[in-house]
Amino acid sequence: MISPVLFMEVTMTFMEKEINEQPDVLALLLDKSLSKAEELCKEIKKRNINFVYIAGRGTSDNAGVYIKYILETYAKMPVALAAPSVITLYHGKPDLKDCLVIGISQSGEALDVLEVIKLANEQGAVTLSITNYDESPLAKLAAYHFNCFAGEEKSVAATKTFTSEMFIGAIITAALSDNDELTRWIHEIPGKAKKYISEYVIDINAVNSLKDENECFVMARGMNYPIALEASLKIQETCYVRARAYSLSDFYHGPFAMLQDQTNVIMIAPEGESINDTLDMVQKLNAVGCKVISFTNNKMIKDCSTHNIEIYNDMNDFESPIINAIAIQRFALKLSLAKGLDPDHPRNLRKVTLTK
């Protein structure tokens, strides 16, 4: 009899299949979303909207963190991440009438996100939903809806819906910024995702170094910080490893004291604006005796790390989080299988989680 793990490797897990579908999903999404982004942009400019409020949970919240970074950087629009409990538990009514309010939910059924959009509608805000289902409650409630066009996602672990949510944010940001460079970058992303999946591999030695471990830290800075958050989530849910994500800057403010010899650290470290800070942190981790797995295309960081996962070389900080998300998904998948687990069906979890 073939063991369950070997059977999954032979037949390909849903998670792997859905990871591999991402370049096609992103290409379709780009084709379907450009005109809608222009329409939304006209409404925002007509209404003089200059503040954004984003509600999401789990993976969708991590996508919202990426959207916050790029909207504030390129569209110069301040962004707040909602605390839905303010509305659902404490019955607060933040003034959202002059905001773009974005609700993100793969299923479109997140009850607390629905309440945020409902309040925003009542106050006359511009409301936008990002979901994978046109007929979902959230899609129907918001004035504007962007479909992820990811198709059914059978694995509990979100992969293609996460990158789709991020990419929708990138498309909207490019439209709002009226920036030709951003427009060129969003057209490059599907091709870079395809090239990464077809040409890059995950170092099995890096995977095996965490196979028997129960905890690790995950770090990044800037626009890749949400990828550290998502890496932590993916490793927790598919590998049952207590992975804790931090921004490099925040890690110095207390958590650094938890480091000791042989502490496991995963570093998201692409070339870009944060590379010098990242290199400085990796060197400090080395001095403590940590084991560092770096997702990087920087030679100096490679030389300082215990193991390296090669990431796409020709990227900027706007693009790299989407491609790096695919890298961490592939790593989590391989680690889950190496530990003899089923990444498609994590214990105690289901695909749709309804929080109030």
Mean pLDDT over 286-313 rounds to: 96
Query: What average pLDDT is seen over the chain?
Result: 94
Superfamily for the 203-338 domain? Glucose-6-phosphate isomerase like protein; domain 1 (3.40.50.10490)
Q: Do domains 12-197 and 203-338 have the same CATH topology?
A: yes
pLDDT at 8 over 60: no
Closest by Cα among 111, 109, 112, 114 to 127: 114
Mean pLDDT over 148-170 rounds to: 96
pLDDT at 355 over 90: no
Mean pLDDT over 236-249 rounds to: 96
Mean pLDDT over 235-252 rounds to: 95
Strand, helix or coil at 25?
helix
pLDDT at 255 over 50: yes
Give residue 346's pLDDT band: very low, low, confident or very high (50, 70, 90): confident
pLDDT at 39 over 50: yes
| pLDDT number for residue 1 | 39
pLDDT at 9 over 90: no
Domain ranges of the chain: 12-197, 203-338
pLDDT at 31 over 90: yes
Give residue 149's pLDDT band: very low, low, confident or very high (50, 70, 90): very high
Mean pLDDT over 349-356 rounds to: 57
| pLDDT number for residue 178 | 86
Q: Can you spell out the DSSP letters for 282-318?
A: HHHHHHHT-EEEEEE--HHHHHHSSEEEE--SS--TT
Closest by Cα among 300, 318, 316 to 308: 300
Question: Could you report the per-residue pLDDT of 75-127, keeping only the tens digit for each?
Answer: 999 999 999 999 999 999 999 999 999 999 999 999 999 999 999 999 999 99
Domain 12-197, CATH 3.40.50.10490 — does that match? yes
- Report the distance separating Cα 107 and Cα 133, nearest Å: 7
Measured CA to CA in angstroms, residue 260 lies from 98, 210, 265 at distances of: 49, 16, 11
pLDDT at 24 over 60: yes
- Report the distance separating Cα 1 and Cα 163, nearest Å: 37
| pLDDT number for residue 82 | 97
Mean pLDDT over 156-176 rounds to: 97
Percentages (nearest 5) of helix, strand, coil residues in the chain = 50, 15, 35
Helix 160-177 with 59-70: angle, nearest 10 deg: 20
